[in-house]
Amino acid sequence: MIDLERALHELHRGGVEFIIVGGVAATIHGATRVTQDLDIVYARTPENIDRLATALAPHRPYLRGAPPGLPFRWDAETIGRGLNFTLTTALGDLDLLGEIVGGGGYADLLPHCQSVTVSGVEYRCLGLERLIHVKRAAGRPRDLEAIAELEALREQGGDQDAG
Amino acid sequence: MDSTATRGGSSSRPGLACYIGAMSKLAGRPCVEPATSEPDPVVEAYKKDVDRTLLRANLARTVEERLQNLGRLQRFAEELRRAGRAHR
């Protein structure tokens, strides 16, 4: 389970450039399904990677599902060498994505984002249309029900409501 | 993980997705191909069962209220899991 408000706040406070995607983005658009983690696409610039490493370091990021005690080091070098990280942190489960299927990286997704305000802070969230697109592109059977709900939301005019 | 993250390709067909992903990597480009816009029969079938009253109720809420609801549901689900573990 993720402490959403705190996780978003910590990333914002650290000046991290990111886009909310996945289940939390679906919730923002009005989906009713419950997600347990926060998925973000982060900018892969060296400065942003530094900021991301610094912002999360106090929250003890570790590879989710990995056995304890692995020599995993959370720093800019590790992030720079990897791309997508599924992490467990003191804030909850956090997926840091450098790229998503059908959407690309941070810069590719920016034109498809909309702003949402949470606790007085503005965040970038992937727009409903693009969210459907990337979920369809991923082609995962378990996403099919989620896509159905997102498409129903689109028919209800959900994209306008999250802006 | 709830997102669509992988380093592979994009398609509603996993085999093709892998191929496109590999080709994209070879070309040094991010994998951004258009997903088909044709209706998926499985999605269409699921769509019939989507409770639109819940969606309308959610759309009447603010984004903050939607996220607060999600937080409440997550905590409740966690509580149920804990109770289930204790019962076993």
Q: Minimal CA–CA distance to A25: which of A82, A79, A120, A100? A: A100
What is the pLDDT, as a whole number, of residue A159? Answer: 53
Min Cα separation B17/chain A (Å): 8
> Would residue A163 count as lying in a domain?
no
Which residue has 């003191």 as its token pair? A90
Total of domains in chain A: 1
> Would residue A160 count as lying in a domain?
no
pLDDT, tens digit, 9 for 90 and up, residues B14-33 = 444 444 444 444 444 555 55
- Kindly tell me if the per-residue pLDDT of B7 is higher than 50: no
What is the pLDDT, as a whole number, of residue A163? Answer: 41
> Would residue A35 count as lying in a domain?
yes
For residue A15, give both structure tokens.
Answer: 């000046």
- Kindly tell me if the per-residue pLDDT of A122 is higher than 80: yes
- H/E element, A94: strand A92-97
Which residue has 């450039």 as its token pair? A17
Task: Assess A128–B contact: CB distance below 8 Å, yes or no.
Answer: no
> Would residue A61 count as lying in a domain?
yes
How far from the centroid of its chain's Cα atoms is residue A53's Cα? Answer: 15
> Would residue A64 count as lying in a domain?
yes
pLDDT, tens digit, 9 for 90 and up, residues B47-60 = 999 999 999 999 99
Q: Minimal CA–CA distance to A4: which of A27, A30, A29, A33? A: A27
CA distance B64 to A81: 35
> Would residue A44 count as lying in a domain?
yes
> Would residue A159 count as lying in a domain?
no
ipTM of model: 0.88
Q: Which of residues 1-20 of B touch A (CB under 8 A)?
A: 1-14, 17
Of B1, B21, B40, the CB nearest to A86: B1
Residue numbers of the domain that contains A11:
4-152
CATH of the domain at A95: 3.30.460.40
> Would residue A94 count as lying in a domain?
yes
Residue B41 DSSP label: H
pTM of structure: 0.83
CA distance B80 to B85: 9
